Amino acid sequence: MTHRQLLACSLAAALLYCLAPAASFAQRQAPPSRSLMVRLRSFLGLQPRLVSVGGTRSNTAQTVCLLAPGPMESGPTGAVVRVLDPQPRLVLGHPLNEIELRRGEVVLWSQLASSKAPIRGPLAWPLPAMQAGDRLELALRPQGAAGGDWAVVTLEGASAEAQQRYASAVSATASSPEQRLLRIDQAAKSGDAPLAQALLWAPLMPGGGSLEALQTELRSLCTTPPTSRSLR
């Protein structure tokens, strides 16, 4: 083999070596299948996210859309959310005049809208991490509601096992939107709505276009007629 032929072979081998990782990366970053996205849209879109505003001053019925933490379940005293993330983001589907976190009669944290702009989410968790079995009240007063009209949701810390399962899933998929979607799909297939919803809104490295699209679609559902009744 001539020197020119050897040089050509070396260049070709180097080119293949450089392209192989790129091809592998492209394969790993392939967009999710259409059937997967349809399943997730259907499952997540049906989860209860509306809670009714209670009070005596408003003349019209109002609801507040809470996307995370969620989904909402019906408890003996009203809407309940099992919280898997000890420090969950509060993702609001409606603008608020006021928001509070309470324990019994004690207000642990509150925020009031300014005269120029309402409160919009997402909001970082403002308190120490919730422990398994902790119970707090999340009170939401939507834009335009009277001073005594609140939507109240009970936040209940999930079991230590459920919190650990969530933490492990987040850690394993933090750098891969595709793996995160697959974990959400696994949770949806097993009927674990709290885990699916929590993973959807969990922190993720940039580049999660499909996840962001799902989040955008769920936000849009807050401004369209609900497919399920609101909870009180």
Per-residue tens of pLDDT for the chain, all 232 residues: 555 554 444 444 444 444 444 434 334 455 668 888 899 999 999 998 999 998 655 555 789 999 999 899 988 888 999 999 999 999 999 999 999 999 999 999 999 999 889 999 799 999 999 999 999 999 999 998 888 899 999 999 999 999 999 999 999 998 888 999 999 999 999 999 999 999 999 987 766 688 888 999 999 998 754 444 456 5
Round the CA-based radius of gyration of the chain to a whole number and report it.
23
Helix (H) or strand (E) holding 154: strand 151-157
Amino acid at 111: Q
- Does 88 share its domain with 2? no
- Does 126 share its domain with 204? yes
- Does 44 share its domain with 13? no
- Does 8 share its domain with 102? no
The set of residues, in sequence order, having a beta carbon less than 8 Å from that of 70 and lying 6+ positions away, is 47, 48, 49, 81, 194, 197
- Does 82 share its domain with 138? yes
Burial of 54 (0-12, 13-18, 19+ CB in 10 A): middle
What is the C-alpha to C-alpha distance for residues 114 and 153, in angstroms, rounded to an integer? 23
Burial of 76 (0-12, 13-18, 19+ CB in 10 A): exposed
The boundaries of the domain holding residue 95 are 32-232
- Does 69 share its domain with 172? yes
- Does 22 share its domain with 78? no
Domain total in the chain: 2
- pLDDT in the model for residue 147: 83
Phi and psi torsions of 148, nearest 5° = -100, 10
- Does 42 share its domain with 141? yes
Residue spans of alpha helices (H) in 94-208: 160-173, 177-189, 193-201
- Does 24 share its domain with 40? no
The residue ranges of DSSP E strands in 33-95, in sequence order, are 50-52, 63-68, 72-75, 78-83, 91-92
What is the C-alpha to C-alpha distance for residues 33 and 211, in angstroms, rounded to an integer? 13
What is the C-alpha to C-alpha distance for residues 57 and 217, in angstroms, rounded to an integer? 33
- Does 51 share its domain with 11? no
- Does 26 share its domain with 38? no
Helix (H) or strand (E) holding 214: helix 209-221
- Does 101 share its domain with 153? yes
